[in-house]
Structure 1
Amino acid sequence: MPDTQLCLEALSALCGCRVEPTSVDSQLTPQDLVNIVALKEFYRQEGFQTLEYPSIGSLSLQEADDVDLYGPPPALTAGPAESAGAAATVKINPADFFHPQYDYDFTNIKDGNKKFLRGNEQYLRPCGWNRVALRVLNKYDGGDGWLGTGSDAWPVSYHGHGMDGSLGIIVTHKADCVDEPGFLDAAAASITIPQTKGRGVYSTRDVCIAEKFCKKFKSKVDGKTYKVVLQSRINPNKRKECQRENYWLIYVPEGSNDIQTRAIVQESLRPYGLLLKQV
């Protein structure tokens, strides 16, 4: 497993909050992690400025790429504006959050023409990345079949920061593809079919796509810059195929409240790996 503090920095970059170690119970579970990452993007595209999350409170949806999450806290004399911009601090117990037994370093692996399956669908392994396993075994009702390699397993999904509704499922399809067969018909249908409008949470089967949208952070551990992506399994009964190849959407219906929206994410995405790549 990479340095624990490096992994906490990666979590901080994903969540937009300061993640610190503790020896007691964690404030966050791996499921909370994917909920926060997905919901931050969703609520940002909906025009909100903060996300209220149980056990943490208010999380800013403003970009924090230039914010030093591990810098000193705001001075006691800081004004309201400065204090409001301060990142929340979250405590997790690394022993309960990470599962080193299942770490896998794909950094120097090239699959070539080899094919792997998860849930009878092709699994594009994260070659070039170092995977830190999350402790998710025996955490869900119904057993761990979703995490396996058999026919009842869920397909693998990658989530990069910034994968939101701007990608579009139908109506915001890139302009240079408007002449593709069926696109105009699909676009016309999207006007009358709400489920095609792309309101929800996006992910992809291809880590190379997720990498284009991923977060970067400079580690205080070694001074190097890393990319970070979340590796999850996606419920095949909850996703929708996008017009763009290899994109998936977890659709959130209009009128869903915060609890319903969070429930939709929890039923649809389950994380199991934190992917790191040195820039």
Structure 2
Amino acid sequence: MLDEGVRYEALSAAMGATVRPLSDFQRNNPGKTPENLLTVEGFLIGSVLGVTSLLQWLSPVSWLTWGLSVLFFGQDKRKVINTELFVDEATFFDREFDYDFTDVSDSESFVRGDESYKRPCGWKRIALKVLDKYGDNTWLGPNGIRTYSYPGEWPVSYHGTSEDGAKGIIQSHYKVGDGQLYGRGIYSTPDLSQASGYARDFVSKTNGKTYRMVLQNRINTAQRKICKRVDYWLVPVNDGTSEEEERRIVESSIRPYGILLKEM
């Protein structure tokens, strides 16, 4: 089992902002709801497009504060403005589907969305409460451990980034291992070992251990392009796309449903 502190440190690393339990806020503000309440839908926007897009979506005032930090302190020093986000555990985490794959070694083949699914053996998964958050749940398929695919469900992909979580996982003109330069968009891979190579590590203040973090997603094949290297997948997001349209593309194309952690 993961320490509760590590759970929130992982969220903070993914978002590039301090994430705390809602109870911390309500202890000093009884009966109130914070402006920066991070929902699962907000996590999708923040983890993919970056915390600036999230803050603009949550609150124009918070977004303006963040923007002023960039203006006055510079792009590399914007973290001097301490952006806090709060999570309602009851609606954000789905602990029923947390899973410890640390000592798991699969001998069977698994399939999701009619494509091979390599389970995250050797990792621990923090499950997000995504059920009923995007209309029907066909994209996720039925619950339970199963080797077969379900009609209409989306394949699994992974994404790890060594960049500051505040920037999200959207990339411009990404050059992968084959030297081919690809366009702007959201990159992920069905191969966890590939994603791990791009993942960022963080040192826990809770227990002093070092963890590597990767996002586990489902991806819409109707909006996915397979790169020359078939283990790299791209959801194109063209330069000049409005932020509103970017959010629409993200919600309809890639959906994180788990945060994977591995002790290093």
TM (norm. structure 2) is: 0.78
Deviation at 1:60, TM superposition (A): 7.0
Distance 1:208 1:88 in 2: 32
Q: Which whole-Å CA distance do the structure 1 matches of 2:56 and 2:231 have between them?
A: 30
Q: Tell me the secondary structure at the aligned position of residue 50 of structure 2.
A: helix
Unaligned residue ranges in structure 1 (runs of 5+): 42-49, 62-79, 176-186, 188-195
Q: Deviations over 1:160-188 (max 9, x none)?
A: 114634533xxx7635xxxxxxxxxxx8x
- Render the CA deviation track for 1:71-111: whole Å, top value 9, x for unaligned: xxxxxxxxx64786333111111222111111111111112
Q: Is the 8 A contact 2:66 2:78 kept in 1?
A: no
Q: Would you say the 8 A contact 1:146–1:152 is kept in 2? A: yes
Give identity over the alignment, percent: 40
Kindly name which structure, 1 or 2, has the bigger radius of gyration based on alpha carbons: 1
2:7 is matched with 7
Where does residue 218 of structure 2 map in the other structure? Answer: 233
d(CA) in 1 for partners of 2:66, 2:192: 26
Q: Measure, in 2, the Cα distance between the counterparts of 1:133 and 1:261.
A: 25
Which residue number corresponds to residue 28 of structure 1?
38
Distance across 2 between alignment mates of 1:87 and 1:268: 31
- In 2: Cα distance, 1:197 partner to 1:160 partner: 18
Going from structure 1 to structure 2, the CA distance change for 1:239 and 1:60 (only over 3 Å counts) comes to farther
CA separation of 1:144 and 1:100: change in aligned 2, threshold 3 A: same
C-alpha spacing 1:119/1:3, structure 2 compared with 1 (3 Å): same
Task: Give the Cα separation in 1 of the matches to 2:192 and 2:105.
Answer: 13
Letter in 1 for 2:46: I
Instruction: Give SS of 1:243's match.
Output: coil
Show the counterpart of 1:167: 174
Alignment of 1:197-276 (within 5 A): 197-276=182-261
Which one of the candidate residues 97, 100, 105 is aligned to 2:100? 105
Equivalences, count:
229
Compared CA separation, residues 33 and 160, structure 1 to 2 (3 A) = same
Give the Cα–Cα distance (whole angstroms) in 1 for the partners of residues 231 and 204 of structure 2: 31
C-alpha distance in 2, partners of 1:119/1:39?
25
Residues 117, 60 of structure 1: CA spacing in aligned structure 2 closer, same or farther, 3 A cutoff?
farther
Instruction: Report the CA distance shift for 1:60/1:198 in structure 2 as closer, same or farther (over 3 A).
Output: farther
